[in-house]
Structure 1
Amino acid sequence: GQSVSISGNGQAFIAGAINGDFAQSFEWNDDDWQKKGRELYGDVGSSFGNSVSMTYSGNVIAVGAPGGRYTEAYKWNNDSWSLRGSRLRNFVPDSEFGYSVSISSNGDIFVVGAPGYDDACEGNVYVYEWSELSSYEQKGESIQGTGSNDNAGSSVSLSNDGSILAYGSYENSYEGANARILSWDGISWNQIGKAIPGRENIEVALSSDGGTIAVGLPSNSTEEISPRKVTVYSRKASFPKKRRVKVP
């Protein structure tokens, strides 16, 4: 699979296959993994399944389709998956909306990355929350990249409660690639601490409480992060603060 996400309880996972524009969920039956419902298909050529994310229970999922510039959420209803709300679309050409997705523990909040957004490829990050209207509505303003070729939203991650998010960028023309952490104050998203520096193609993953972030750098090096390493930062007096480095 191009992408994979496991439930918080470890009893289910979802995998995306962009060549076939579909995603498939599986669950553990005490002896083996079996399919959980049917395959979920996107539009032909939409890269549906490029990104996937699953809730703690495994009963709500989000699937991104950057080639079609849309994202969908599904909910498990006893024996099948049904679309939760409506398809979320972005009509900006080449925005790659849905390139990355991350969903909260209960499925009521999820974040979507659109790293190709605008002509300068600054990228955008969008957050949505389930509303009383039985639909996902945007939560706060979109979070825009900080420079040309930033490609903000190339990777995204949410804390369990959806109040803290992290996103990675490719290669900001002003300061190189970086990862940023933001928190929700009830009105807007605000950055916590300074950006975490990298060089290119940063991946991010937050802990359940949002207090720790792992930053992966598949290639290239800087003084902060060496080639193909994962650096872990934790929130202390100021956040982020380097905690330790692991080498694969």
Structure 2
Amino acid sequence: MSFKSIKLFEFNWDHVEGAIYYRLQENPDGASGFSQIGSDIQYEAGSYILEVPLHSRVNAQYILQACNNHGCSNSDILAVNDPLIDSIGYLKSSDSTEGEYFGGSIALSGDGNTLAVGAPGELLRTENSNPPGTVYIFTRNNLNWTEQASLQASNADKGDYFGHSISLSNDGNKLAIGAHRENSSATGINGDQGNSSFNSFGFGAVYLFSRTSNTWTQQVYIKPSNSDLDDAFGYSVSLSGDGKTLAVGARGEDSSSSGINGDQTSNDHSKSGAVYIFNYNKSNWKQQAYIKAGNTGPNSQFGRSVSLSNDGNTLAVSAPFESSGAKGINSFLPSYSAASSGAVYIFTRPETTWTQQSHIKASNSDKYDLFGSAIHLSSDASTLAVGAIGERSFATGINGNQENNDALDYTGAVYIFVQTNADWVQQSYLKAHNTELNYANGGDIFGFSVSLSENGDTLAVGALGEDSHASGINGDEQDNNAQDSGAIYIYTRSNTTWSKGAYIKSSTTEKNDEFSHSVSLSADGNTLVVGAPGEDSNATGIGGDKKNNGNPNSGAVFIY
């Protein structure tokens, strides 16, 4: 067995005399037993290529059977005892440049065959030299990845941060791109894109692109109904599975209204935040709703993250700087007794009208936890993952001691909530199994990014500040010689019980790579994509030289 290209295991053998065909048997985790992979293999083949989800094959075992009419004989067991570095995909843009921040955002289609990568071009560059941002499209065909397109805004301008947020429809044919510092004061759909009379940034815009055959075109240019300076419209975006419902977060919006479709003109609550829903009907996009928190408060940044269900009828919105002292579900406390503890809100659309269903806080909600730093709602809206990067427990693993706040810095946590009959309950409290605070380097920032599979049974969690120098899968977690290199942790659920999965690093770990800044799982959970916008290689394209650090912060994406 050898490791061949992205997510591929290659099996080679000499023909066994008397064999008519062969069978490949797999024991995926080394414990659940062997079963046949694929159909029978013709005897003259001599090789077989198997595509696998790397994050769940680190303990896999394989047997090749040589078979004829009298039965089958087994080869020795082939065991995976390898960090699988050679099978990890490594993607750069075709025109990789310093400060591009490629991988700052990523979105994977449901089938895992279309990948959008944002390169907002924002890091460590002056405003005058800041490029306008680009989104790159990659597609997989016959197990091979290729770059299909590079997209820019129709009114591209420096410092717009085009590509800071992106979201794909299930089939990968619709793409929403946020540019939260776009500076036109236009409002509504397809307004005046050239209206940039304000010598400032932060109004924000969203661009919708569509793909026909292999050609991408900009379909629509979207602004909110109350576009205003520093609203950061487009800081977060989420498309429904069919691409016909779009949620857009504007974390800097200042209205003091609350609930659905309130007064948009009052700017009395600075950075309270808002979310806008747009709906596609009869060939037109229209704003359907203007959504505020039920307990709107200044500086809550409601809309910092948004996540829609597959059908577009359930919406999760985070407000990581919400400061109420409540804990648990629907326990409203209007006081500001827990600064920046954070909250998540659930909204539903039974038909065409949106209503707030739930207000969710952590079971151990505390000041500065930033609950809602990242969120992801499963496709069927039954499971919600919430990151809280400021949580300070020294607990490790699953359902540890939530009340121990001895870490004093951003170790971080992730909370799992499940919905039954419109009621949400907290199901699990997750920490890294190597929770650590390196007082020289700061916390691990576990929960900076999260992604669920379609059914919510597989979860990937990013820890942006994790410091291990390991590479590949299940390496040495204790070697903290790569500050802020970042890591991904996989968790899986069986019935209602969560278990620890793989510990994942890039194939070329170095300090400040920001690996796990963005993460996305395919619907079936079998493809994992991770962005590392701080990666420094001057390689271009797919599978280039990872070791040359000639392009600081050019960024990279890794596929597992």
TM-score (norm 2): 0.42
2:413 aligned partner = 229
Measure how far apart 1:239 and its partner are: 2.6
Distance in structure 1 (CA, Å) of the matches to 2:380 and 2:352: 20
2:447 aligned partner = none
Q: How does 1:52-131 map to 2 (within 5 A)?
A: 52-68=166-182, 69-84=204-219, 86-90=220-224, 91-118=227-254, 120-131=270-281
Gap change, CA 1:194 and 1:173, over 3 Å in 2? closer
Answer yes or no: is 1:22 the counterpart of 2:172: no
Q: Unaligned stretches of 5+ in structure 1?
A: none
The residue type paired with residue 419 of structure 2 is R
The residue type paired with residue 315 of structure 2 is L
SS in 1 for 2:167: strand
Distance in structure 2 (CA, Å) of the matches to 1:246 and 1:29: 36
Distance in structure 2 (CA, Å) of the matches to 1:179 and 1:225: 23
Gap change, CA 1:234 and 1:102, over 3 Å in 2? same
Measure how far apart 1:237 and its partner are: 4.8
1:219 pairs, out of 390, 393, 400, with 390
SS in 1 for 2:278: strand
Answer yes or no: is 1:245 the counterpart of 2:454: no
Measure how far apart 1:208 and its partner are: 0.5
Distance in structure 2 (CA, Å) of the matches to 1:181 and 1:147: 17
Distance in structure 1 (CA, Å) of the matches to 2:287 and 2:301: 20
1:208 aligned partner = 379
User: What are the superposed Cα offsets for residues 126-185 of structure 1, whole Å, 9 maximum, x if unpaired?
Assistant: 1111121x2321123333571111101100000001000001112124453111111013
Structure 2 contact 302–320 (Cα < 8 Å) conserved: yes
Distance in structure 2 (CA, Å) of the matches to 1:13 and 1:135: 26
Structure 2 contact 135–150 (Cα < 8 Å) conserved: no
Answer yes or no: is 1:164 the counterpart of 2:314: yes
Gap change, CA 1:74 and 1:112, over 3 Å in 2? same
Measure how far apart 1:83 and its partner are: 1.6
User: What are the superposed Cα offsets for residues 39-64 of structure 1, whole Å, 9 maximum, x if unpaired?
Assistant: 33443211100000011111111000
Answer yes or no: is 1:192 the counterpart of 2:341: no
The residue type paired with residue 22 of structure 1 is T
The residue type paired with residue 142 of structure 1 is I
Gap change, CA 1:79 and 1:224, over 3 Å in 2? farther
Distance in structure 2 (CA, Å) of the matches to 1:70 and 1:232: 31
Distance in structure 2 (CA, Å) of the matches to 1:189 and 1:196: 21
Decide which moves more: 40-49 or 196-205.
Answer: 196-205
Gap change, CA 1:191 and 1:225, over 3 Å in 2? farther
The residue type paired with residue 211 of structure 1 is S
Measure how far apart 1:224 and its partner are: 8.2
Gap change, CA 1:14 and 1:63, over 3 Å in 2? same
Gap change, CA 1:233 and 1:224, over 3 Å in 2? farther
Distance in structure 1 (CA, Å) of the matches to 2:289 and 2:413: 33
Distance in structure 2 (CA, Å) of the matches to 1:214 and 1:201: 11
SS in 1 for 2:177: strand
Structure number with higher strand proportion: 1
Decide which moves more: 176-185 or 5-14.
Answer: 176-185
Gap change, CA 1:224 and 1:92, over 3 Å in 2? farther
Q: How does 1:122-141 map to 2 (within 5 A)?
A: 122-132=272-282, 134-141=283-290
Corresponding residue pairs, total: 246
Structure with larger RCO (C-alpha < 8 A, sep 6+)? 2
Distance in structure 1 (CA, Å) of the matches to 2:237 and 2:355: 19
From the CA coordinates, give the structure whose radius of gyration is larger: 2
Distance in structure 1 (CA, Å) of the matches to 2:243 and 2:404: 33
Distance in structure 1 (CA, Å) of the matches to 2:292 and 2:285: 17
Runs of 4+ aligned structure 1 residues displaced above 6 Å come to none
Structure 2 contact 307–377 (Cα < 8 Å) conserved: yes
Gap change, CA 1:247 and 1:160, over 3 Å in 2? same
The residue type paired with residue 213 of structure 1 is L
2:291 aligned partner = 142
Structure 2 contact 275–290 (Cα < 8 Å) conserved: no
Distance in structure 1 (CA, Å) of the matches to 2:173 and 2:291: 27
Gap change, CA 1:187 and 1:58, over 3 Å in 2? closer
Q: How does 1:1-12 map to 2 (within 5 A)?
A: 1-12=103-114
Distance in structure 1 (CA, Å) of the matches to 2:359 and 2:243: 29
